[in-house]
């Protein structure tokens, strides 16, 4: 389960465009940190860290020709986390004076001492090299918060109106969620990091109303990404999504879907597009390889995991061509960071190698518990009022370096189904029994697409499904998709995470008819 660092250089200089947000740097970050950390040390803390966050967000929602909502928000605050006599303590605050920061640190120490008689297990953490005074900025071209809201709204309305102009489209919706997250971290060991990352989640959907079949929808397959405004407005050469081509095709896809026959349940070979497969990766691998779930420490939202530590190195997760990595450093990943909320540098590592479980996602406490020398950087808090917990990295299925195209995979299937786009899903609390639907399903006959079918869900156990994978596409089929809203913990926290996948071929997968069999 080797982990390696990527370069720790100041990427704001490397990208050539984006300094840290001036409004963030204008805050008294170091004065607050110095006051909090010195107070924690004076009260006997063997570890203390200070985390200041400024999170700027905007959400826009369009229905047909009109704006439904436009919301802007800024969250500002800081947190102090301490270990005193082997017990965690945590407190947060919003008053931006050194005196207030000292009070927050004192409160964190008091919490630790109050819990000392309640929490029996002593906190032990893996070591981490000190990183003094490092700056990191995510990779994007155009700051979306520098673009006027009127321009964004105009672009979204133009897209819904272009969909509405097509026959068969009764309604169209579009949306955009954007976040700029600034973090300043300092700890008693001497690590000091200042970070900025930008992420976007655009949506676009066309809806048909048919007297015989009711409502049917067709959504864009554009995934959320760690990019800037260029992703929504630009060309593919600038990192933009090809909305013009997609808008031209969505009404055609929708019209065919409305009239498509219902699938006949049974076993089929599947070719699954990465626009669908990313979600299966998230649910059946991403959550299952979170170490806190694997040991039963965490069960909120997604349950625990069948992939327990006694199976590490022996569990046959899938076929021999299955190679899955975790990372915190892939370009444009939603979980990509310079340093996590434990002060650990972003890395990449193996989770499944040649079909065998070989690794987990870890923070510093769980790395030590697993007997490793170092964390792989998966500590994250979604706001200053929450304490960091172990969160999902970017978890990705690797392509065949010599693999062919999606069309090549389809050409090898005599009788099957091609799956495009994500929709609904269901999985048990052990991340083992599941079913997934999608946006579009095409019958494959004799190696060719033979029109859409509907009411499709594929169902399997995790190990049977990944064990049935017989081929993956080449790097040209690989797509980095993901979600903004992965939930975990009590109180609940939300994190954004990406999952890369190539197109892939699976043999003899059970297909349910969602109408006749009631699949979700």
pLDDT digits (tens, 9 = 90+) for 9-21: 333 334 446 999 9
Q: Are strands 171-187 and 47-63 parallel, antiparallel or unpaired?
A: antiparallel
Within a domain: 170: yes
The pTM score is 0.95
Residues 240 and 344 in one domain: no
Q: Above 60 in pLDDT, residue 370?
A: yes
Q: State the residue range of the domain holding 103.
A: 3-259
Residue 264 lies in a domain: no
Q: For position 8, what pLDDT does the model report?
A: 30
Same domain, yes or no, for 366 and 400? yes
**Cα 351 off chain centre by:** 16
CA 519 – CA 458 distance, rounded (Å): 9
* Element of type H or E holding 281: helix 274-281
**Does 393 lie in the same domain as 246?**
no
Positive or negative: CA dihedral 279, 285, 288, 292: negative
- Is there a single domain that holds both residue 324 and residue 246? no
- Look at residues 218, 235, 259 and tell me which one is the last residue of a structural domain: 259
**Structural domain includes residue 138:** yes
Residue 385 belongs to some domain of the structure: yes
Last-in-domain residue among 259, 286, 316: 259
Instruction: Provide the CA 213 distance to its chain's centre, in angstroms.
Output: 34
> What does the pLDDT look like over 240-286, one tens digit per residue?
999 999 999 999 999 999 999 999 999 999 999 999 999 999 999 99
What integer pLDDT is reported at residue 14 of this predicted model?
40
Same domain, 239 and 293: no
Do residues 382 and 246 share a domain? no
Pairing of strands 3-5, 134-137: unpaired
User: Does a structural domain hold residue 396?
Assistant: yes
Do 219 and 180 lie in one domain? The reply is yes
In residues, how long is the chain?
Answer: 520
Residue 454 lies in a domain: yes
Mean pLDDT on 147-159: 98
Rounded Cα distance between 322 and 364, Å, is: 27
Instruction: Please indicate, yes or no, whether residues 215 and 280 belong to a single structural domain of this protein.
Output: no
Say if residue 235 is in the same domain as residue 355: no
Q: Which of 234, 259, 284 is the last residue of a domain?
A: 259
Average confidence score pLDDT of the chain: 94
Judge if 153 and 34 occupy the same domain: yes
Distance CA 290, CA 296 (A): 10
Q: Rounded to an integer, what distance in angstroms lies between the CA atom of residue 409 and that of residue 80?
A: 52
Angle CA 182–187–190, to nearest 5: 110
Same domain flag for 233 and 274: no
Q: What is the mean pLDDT of residues 217-228?
A: 97
Domains held by the chain: number: 2
Task: State the average pLDDT over residues 138-167.
Answer: 97
What's the rounded Cα separation, in Å, for the pair 80 and 185? 10
Here the CATH number for the domain that contains residue 15 is 3.30.2290.10
Q: In this predicted structure, what is the pLDDT of residue 517?
A: 67
Directed axis angle between helix 149-164 and helix 243-259, to 10°?
A: 40
Phi, psi of 433 (to 5 degrees): -100, 130
Are residue 227 and residue 275 in the same domain, yes or no? Answer: no
For residue 519, is it within any domain? no
């Amino acid at each position: 389960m080797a982990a390696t660092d990527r370069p720790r250089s100041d990427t704001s200089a490397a990208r050539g465009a984006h300094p840290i947000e001036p409004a963030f740097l204008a805050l008294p970050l170091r004065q607050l940190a110095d006051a909090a950390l010195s107070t924690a040390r004076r009260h006997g803390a063997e570890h203390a860290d200070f985390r200041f966050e400024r999170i700027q967000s905007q959400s826009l929602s369009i229905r047909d020709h009109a704006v439904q909502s436009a919301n802007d928000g800024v969250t500002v605050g800081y947190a102090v986390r301490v270990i005193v006599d082997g017990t965690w303590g945590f407190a947060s605050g919003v008053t931006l004076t050194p005196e207030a920061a000292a009070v927050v640190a004192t409160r964190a120490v008091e919490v630790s001492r109050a819990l000392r008689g309640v929490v029996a297990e002593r906190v032990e953490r893996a070591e981490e090299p000190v990183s003094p005074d490092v700056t990191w900025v995510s990779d994007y071209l155009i700051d979306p918060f520098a673009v006027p809201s009127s321009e964004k709204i105009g672009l979204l309305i133009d897209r819904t109106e272009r969909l509405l102009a097509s026959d068969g489209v009764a309604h169209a919706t579009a949306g955009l969620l954007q976040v700029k997250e600034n973090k300043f971290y300092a700890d008693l060991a001497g690590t000091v990091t200042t970070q900025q990352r930008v992420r976007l989640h655009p949506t676009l959907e066309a809806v048909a109303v048919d007297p015989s079949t009711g409502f049917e929808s067709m959504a864009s397959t554009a995934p959320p990404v760690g990019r800037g405004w260029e992703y929504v407005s630009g060309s593919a050469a600038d990192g933009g999504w090809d909305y013009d081509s997609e808008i031209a095709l969505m009404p055609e896809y929708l019209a065919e879907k409305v009239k498509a026959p219902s699938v006949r349940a049974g076993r089929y070979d599947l070719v699954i597009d990465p626009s669908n497969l990313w979600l299966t990766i998230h649910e059946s691998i991403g959550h299952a390889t979170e170490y806190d779930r694997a040991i039963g420490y965490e069960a909120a939202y997604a349950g625990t995991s069948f992939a327990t530590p006694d199976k590490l190195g022996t569990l046959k997760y899938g076929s021999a061509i299955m190679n899955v990595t975790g990372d915190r450093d892939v370009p444009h990943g939603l979980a990509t960071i310079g340093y996590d909320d434990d002060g650990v540098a972003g890395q990449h590592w193996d989770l499944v190698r040649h079909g065998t479980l070989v690794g987990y996602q870890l923070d510093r406490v769980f790395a030590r518990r697993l007997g490793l020398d170092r964390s792989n950087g998966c500590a994250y808090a979604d706001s200053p009022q929450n304490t960091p917990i172990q969160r999902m990295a970017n978890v990705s299925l690797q392509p065949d370096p010599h693999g062919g195209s999606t069309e090549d995979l389809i050409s090898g299937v005599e009788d099957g189904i091609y799956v495009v786009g994500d929709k609904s899903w269901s999985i048990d609390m052990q991340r083992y029994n599941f079913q997934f639907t999608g946006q579009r399903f095409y019958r494959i006959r004799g190696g060719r697409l033979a029109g859409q079918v509907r009411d499709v869900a594929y169902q399997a156990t995790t190990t049977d499904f990944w064990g049935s994978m017989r081929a993956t596409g080449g790097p040209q089929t690989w797509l980095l998709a993901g979600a903004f809203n992965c939930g975990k913990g009590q109180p609940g926290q939300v994190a954004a995470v990406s999952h890369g996948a190539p197109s892939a071929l699976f043999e003899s997968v059970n297909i349910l008819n969602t109408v006749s069999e009631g699949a979700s």
